[in-house]
Structure 1
Amino acid sequence: MNKKLVTTLVMSSLVASAFAINAGAAVTDKTTLKDASGKVHNVMGTLGKVSGATAETRAMAALDLVGKDFGFAKAAGNFKVKATHNDENGLAHTKLDQVINGITVFDHQMIVHENNGDVQGVTGDFAALTPNASKAALTSVSAIDKATAFTGFKGQLERPATAELMYVAQGNKAVLAYKVNIAYNDSATPANWAIFVNAVDGSIVNSINQIDFDNAATASAKGVLGDTKTVNTYYYTSYGSYYLEDHTKTGLTNKGTDIETYDYKNGSSSYYDIGSTTNTWNNPAAIDAHYYAGQVYNYYNGLGRNSYDGNGAQIVSTVHYSTNYNNAYWDGGKMVYGDGDGSTFRSLSGGYDVDAHELTHAVTQTTSNLTYSNQSGALNESWSDAQACVMDSGDWMIGEDVYTPATSGDALRYMDNPAAGGQPANMSGYVNTTSDNGGVHTNSGIPNKAFYNFATAIGSRTIAGKVWYTASRDYMTSSTNFSGARAATLSATAALYGSTSSYYTALKTAWSNVGVN
């Protein structure tokens, strides 16, 4: 790599038990699962036999078996294959996007679960929609300009803005729109926007800031809490200096990538290499960010995942973002950590669970890609909290090491007792709100408590974390809600341990005890 100043770009213009899916047993009765509103999200059982040379071809045929359940006549013309994956038991999970006129419908996806032609279940979300148009009147460049104007941001972009044409459901209508991604850190409120611009008249259909805004959020060197850690560094002869780069992760090295950590130096538009000619370090925030990124990589690698995307993506962390910044977040491409103001937070990279939480957002982004609003957004938050408590397993708190340094024993959130952090622990306390993207940091307490119930009932955070990961990878779509998450985790448990296992029974109870059925 070229060691240099890294600058950013300048801006221009789920009701029943879930799938009993495993390779050795099949469910003999077809069951249709619906959420609280009556919408079908899963059809499970022995659904039929389909043929085809590939999993993708068989998946399209499988959808025709459940069309009446979900509300469509034929798969052809309504879906296109996005990706397929075989799990540890050889079961194929094929994801398909709903399409209209060949164009993807945002947030409407199906997953076919099939083994050599035996269809064992279908998960997903289909809506019968009437399109407002079949062709865009607006160019992608114009859409980017309108989205940019909507943000009001005039500084430097983190990466080039992109625009993808798709349909967006609005009631029973499908609005043709560009999904514009605009990301920037050079602002008091950083953003990773998904802005939907009507492709006919240029109006803003919807906007989602996908940054989670979670206010928790070998050289030997000290971290933020004063503890000594051993970190991997790398020496470049041509520069005569060591850098905070970890080239020891085989999966990353084979792809020419690594784990790297940079320093914003209390700025917000440019970040810099962190080097030392003597391999000695006095940057605690950077040491922790670098070390914990490696620990998170190791955890997911143990689950069979090579980096956050499963394909060996480079993991980049940046520290000392802005001044007194009380946040840490995944910006869609890298980690960003503030130093805190010393009162609400100390340097946020010093919390292992904070780092694990935020990097799990990256994993979610490349598995289920849960939409960051309402119940799917609360699940996005909860899945990060859950995995953070698997990795940082000493307690059931989130952010305790960096939150309010002058007050001991407190935390941002409490998995065992959500109420202590101002969250509901049961659907009876679900908060309907338009703030915080529909209360994603509030209502996440419900699935958090379900995870705690499950992990403690079976006596293993590790097993619970594996179930949660498998559910996100194989059984959840971007629009999965709480009811769907129950089905997804039960499906994952059945696939991993069997539907007659004590784990499966414990999981059903865990969800029922928080009011999710």
Structure 2
Amino acid sequence: MSRSWAWLVYAAILVTATALTAKENPVKRALQRTSAEPVKIYYDGKLGTPQFIRGSFAFPSASTKAEVARAFLRQHGEVLGIPPSHRFQLLKTLPDGDNTVVRLTQEVNGVPIFGSDVAFHITPDNRIRVIAGKLYTFDVDPRPELSTAEAIGIVEADLRQRGSTITGEFTTGLTAYVRHRAGVLSWHVTVATVEADQLPGEWHYFVDARSGKIVSRFNNVQVIRNRETYDGNNSIALPGTLIITEGGSSPDAIAQTTHDHTGTTYDYFFNTHGRDSFDDAGATIRSTVHHRINYVNAFWNGNQLVYGDGDGVQSDPLGMALDVVAHEFTHAVTTHTANLIYQDQSGALNESMSDIFAALIDAGDFMIGEDVWTPGTPGDALRYIDNPPLGGQPDHMSGYIITTGDNGGVHTNSGIPNKAFYNIVTAIGRPATGQIYYRGLTVYMTASTDFQAARLALIQAAEDLFGVGSAEAAAVEAGFDAVGISPPPPDFTGIFVSDPFSTPHPYENNSTYSVTYTHPGALRMKVRFTAFDTENAFDVVSIKDGNGNVIYRYDGNLGPFTTGPVPGETITVELTTDFVATRYGFDIDGYFYDDGSAPDVTPPVISGVSAIGITANSATISWTTDELSDSRVEYGLTAAYGNATPLNPTLVTNHSMNLSGLTPGTTYHFRVLSADAAGNQATSGDFTFTTAPPATDVVTITKAQYKNGKGELNIEARCSDPTATLTVVGIGVMDGDGKGRYRFRRKDVFPNPGSITVVSSGGGSDTRTLLVGPTLTGVPEETRLYPNSPNPFNPTTSIRYSLRAAGEVHLTLFTVTGQKVMTLVEGYQRQGEHTLRLDARHLPSGIYLLHLKADHQVFTRRIVLLK
């Protein structure tokens, strides 16, 4: 181990999410117990709370989809660290095909948390599959010491000092503004302005409701098919004089071209994504041209689109460029979907989304504004998506610009996700990329989504559209990885090394304090602060890896905490201060490291325990574990058990043990036990089942055969009671002739290997070894989607697939551009062969993609409908 310290100054970057494994994350282990599918949690590295959860959490008794989301929070709020003082309010409910997206906002002690927005993706049968959005665990005293009037006065004074002219009424309200892992009770003050440079403003201020300090501020004016186009008459008044309505025209070339570009943009969203105007409800699209004199900008002000005429030097009229119109229109779409906060990374992502859809709509290049920008310089553009540095933007997180200007660099740092988009679109093309980005924006992104959360949202969107493991999902991952937006290593407990370091108390202005810890052989490291207090937003502590990349940034009064994990054997802590104020600084007592030598001491997670195939004398116990482990069942007439199956030492995740020699009509208690390769044993809770009553009749199987060539199962049996109903366990009911003879014949059925059990309604049963035809191999050896027949077809075709194991199945038909046509299968199915007939008489001719998701695998077949 070594340590060095120095006074240094250099640039910083930011990546903020962590994916944790089940072996290291007790939250994941708790969630896994209630999920029917493997759980994956991505954490916000700075908040220490989840920002993206995948699984399958069922709440079948919930009466509404919003209640499904609230039921999850009630069930898991404690393990997620959400205090009882927090409540969730319904923001909106949106359809997503057959599914539903419920979005909730979080409150603490009745005070809304600014930017809180959590999206729950819920299936028709009330299963939550994805939760996207940040969860907060801090507490806030809801009692302000500052009055509303005092907060407004503080904002007025700051605006005047900045040269702004107030043009609107003030609105105020209490909010909890998030500062890293804490919430600051603040007055949220908004007001419209005209800035010193005559640009419009819609300022959002956050004033500490106790100290009166301005915690944060940003300008929400976002600059650069029912239509109305207005003439602004070169004034600041909006909207101006109406000159074109839908279907009309004007001799004003600038107005007409802007109007036409608006129509082209509307058509793209409507024809490609089915979106009716920016609000998806047919809202009138109001555009104003000739705004001010020589105005070199365009913007969306929350209500309409506004374009200046330019000055002929820096730009021509902005509305003459299709990509500029598409850019501003997309700001309106974003406002009505993710509503990304126009500040810092979420604001840069807001700008990036507008650039991206502008490039999808004006698809001839990857430049923005090239038709109007600096007309005296041929080939010049405002921004370059394929090469952001040409427009003064970074194209990698190593160049991330830390600034309090431009709302935290929304127009500069947007170059990083822009370059990620370029990487993706060059790999899979514009149509697929457009589908992925639209779904990511409208379904999974929320108000506080940052770069890392956007990566997760778009990967999920790609998996929804094209399947887990698809080339499209891989392209999204690779595209973001290439610009440095990748999740840090999983969190860990690790081994602590005491090695204190402190800044001066207080620290000095215009200084940098740095300490570097190196632990040879470490795979990952993190540092523990015992005290931390710096000037909010200005005196920033950067946590760097051995290559100098900044993984986290912290500022403010945070108290004691431990950083997120940093990969490698070196970690650097660096405080850079400005020229204004000073604070206490920080104290470090040491660091944690993980070199892979820590023993596995965590037992498996047991879930899905059930008793199946219950007869008068036997039952099968099944369950799953989250890691490979052995199998054993204890059972008996009480919870003391007394009996146990022999240990099955085979390490598996899907477990099944048979109990035999049971007494008819008896209730049994049982529990399951599984130990992993390291010997860590997990034990389930107590469960019960009741065996069938004593048999009053006798069942005899006379034939049990499967003919593989015909895909047909034949079973014949006799029963001493000719009125009884006979059932083939796990398959179906046998037909009787009224004389005690029964027959079961069915195609495409694969029974459990080795034997068949038939049970009578009178309690009798019989089990026989299954005889097989010459080519039968038993249960399918693999999950597979076979070619449909016929192909091409008109109008029907047979679809066949095999399941190696029972489980959730999703069979969906898509167009080649990724639009879902119909869901063919959605739900749990038994193992074996399955066949269904697709009736496509209502579909147009063309090529379609058949998409099967089952057994943790994804299969795609191209089918052709020719009419």
Q: Secondary structure at the match of 1:321?
A: coil
**C-alpha separation between the residues in 1 aligned to 2:79 and 2:383?**
39
Q: Which residue of 2 aligns with 1:10?
A: none
The 3 A distance-change label for structure 1 pair 334 and 48 is: same
Please say if residues 330 and 354 of structure 2, whose CA atoms lie closer than 8 Å, have aligned partners that are also in contact. Answer: yes
Query: Does 2:11 match 1:41?
Result: no
**C-alpha separation between the residues in 1 aligned to 2:172 and 2:95?**
31
Query: Does 2:82 match 1:72?
Result: yes
5 Å-filtered alignment, 1:414-433, equals 414-433=384-403
Q: Which AA in structure 2 matches 1:111?
A: A
**C-alpha separation between the residues in 2 aligned to 1:69 and 1:413?**
45
Query: Does 2:81 match 1:111?
Result: no
Q: Which residue of 1 aligns with 2:108?
A: 100
Query: Does 2:480 match 1:511?
Result: yes
Query: Does 2:29 match 1:59?
Result: no
Q: Which residue of 2 aligns with 1:179?
A: 188
Q: Which AA in structure 1 matches 2:365?
A: D
CA drift of 1:409 comes to 0.9
Please say if residues 41 and 125 of structure 1, whose CA atoms lie closer than 8 Å, have aligned partners that are also in contact. Answer: yes
CA drift of 1:175 comes to 3.5
**C-alpha separation between the residues in 2 aligned to 1:72 and 1:203?**
28
Q: Secondary structure at the match of 1:265?
A: coil
5 Å-filtered alignment, 1:408-487, equals 408-459=378-429, 461-487=430-456
Greater RCO between the two (CA within 8 Å, min separation 6)? 1
**C-alpha separation between the residues in 2 aligned to 1:428 and 1:155?**
39
Which of 136, 148, 163 matches 1:127?
A: 136
Q: Secondary structure at the match of 1:131?
A: coil
Query: Does 2:275 match 1:265?
Result: no
Q: Secondary structure at the match of 2:107?
A: strand
CA drift of 1:320 comes to 1.2
The 3 A distance-change label for structure 1 pair 502 and 270 is: closer
Q: Which residue of 2 aligns with 1:233?
A: none
Q: Secondary structure at the match of 2:287?
A: strand
CA drift of 1:435 comes to 2.2
**C-alpha separation between the residues in 2 aligned to 1:415 and 1:16?**
29
Please say if residues 113 and 178 of structure 2, whose CA atoms lie closer than 8 Å, have aligned partners that are also in contact. Answer: yes
Deviation string 1:212-270 (CA, Å, 9 cap, x unpaired) is 33xxx3xxxxxxxxxxxxxxxxxxxxxxxxxxxxxxx4xxxxxxxx3111112111135
Deviation string 1:184-238 (CA, Å, 9 cap, x unpaired) is 458612112222345567654422101233xxx3xxxxxxxxxxxxxxxxxxxxx
The 3 A distance-change label for structure 1 pair 35 and 137 is: closer
The 3 A distance-change label for structure 1 pair 16 and 408 is: farther
How many residues matched? 446
Percentage identity across paired residues of the two chains: 39
Greater Cα shift, 36-45 or 444-453 = 36-45
Query: Does 2:178 match 1:169?
Result: yes
Query: Does 2:287 match 1:327?
Result: no
Please say if residues 164 and 178 of structure 1, whose CA atoms lie closer than 8 Å, have aligned partners that are also in contact. Answer: yes
Which of 454, 459, 463 matches 1:494?
A: 463
The 3 A distance-change label for structure 1 pair 406 and 467 is: same
CA drift of 1:177 comes to 3.4
Q: Secondary structure at the match of 1:406?
A: coil
Q: Which residue of 1 aligns with 2:99?
A: 91
Greater Cα shift, 479-488 or 141-150 = 141-150
Q: Secondary structure at the match of 2:262?
A: helix
Bigger proportion of residues as helix: 1
Q: Secondary structure at the match of 2:449?
A: coil
Deviation string 1:295-334 (CA, Å, 9 cap, x unpaired) is 2222222312221122222211111111111111111111
Q: Which AA in structure 1 matches 2:455?
A: R
The 3 A distance-change label for structure 1 pair 332 and 151 is: farther
Q: Which AA in structure 1 matches 2:403?
A: T
Deviation string 1:122-172 (CA, Å, 9 cap, x unpaired) is 112122223233468635x77556545543344644xx5533443222455
Q: Which AA in structure 2 matches 1:62?
A: F
Q: Secondary structure at the match of 1:78?
A: strand
The 3 A distance-change label for structure 1 pair 270 and 435 is: closer
Q: Secondary structure at the match of 2:250?
A: coil
Q: Which residue of 2 aligns with 1:194?
A: 204
Q: Which residue of 2 aligns with 1:305?
A: 275
CA drift of 1:468 comes to 1.1
Please say if residues 192 and 332 of structure 1, whose CA atoms lie closer than 8 Å, have aligned partners that are also in contact. Answer: no
CA drift of 1:101 comes to 2.2
The 3 A distance-change label for structure 1 pair 146 and 495 is: same
Q: Which residue of 1 aligns with 2:359?
A: 389
CA drift of 1:27 comes to 8.1
**C-alpha separation between the residues in 1 aligned to 2:275 and 2:210?**
41
Bigger proportion of residues as strand: 2
Please say if residues 161 and 182 of structure 1, whose CA atoms lie closer than 8 Å, have aligned partners that are also in contact. Answer: yes
**C-alpha separation between the residues in 2 aligned to 1:441 and 1:27?**
43
Query: Which has the higher Rg, Structure 1 or Structure 2?
Result: 2
The 3 A distance-change label for structure 1 pair 161 and 312 is: farther
Which of 3, 7, 30 matches 2:39?
A: 30
5 Å-filtered alignment, 1:148-159, equals 148=156, 150-152=158-160, 153-154=164-165, 156-157=167-168
**C-alpha separation between the residues in 2 aligned to 1:16 and 1:481?**
15
The 3 A distance-change label for structure 1 pair 77 and 41 is: closer
The 3 A distance-change label for structure 1 pair 430 and 146 is: closer
CA drift of 1:421 comes to 1.7
**C-alpha separation between the residues in 1 aligned to 2:93 and 2:243?**
42
Q: Which residue of 1 aligns with 2:323?
A: 353
**C-alpha separation between the residues in 2 aligned to 1:452 and 1:66?**
39
The 3 A distance-change label for structure 1 pair 137 and 428 is: closer
CA drift of 1:71 comes to 2.7
CA drift of 1:455 comes to 1.4
Q: Which AA in structure 1 matches 2:459?
A: L
Please say if residues 315 and 372 of structure 2, whose CA atoms lie closer than 8 Å, have aligned partners that are also in contact. Answer: yes
Q: Which AA in structure 1 matches 2:384?
A: Y
**C-alpha separation between the residues in 2 aligned to 1:264 and 1:149?**
31
TM-score by structure 2 length? Answer: 0.48
CA drift of 1:509 comes to 1.5
CA drift of 1:349 comes to 0.7
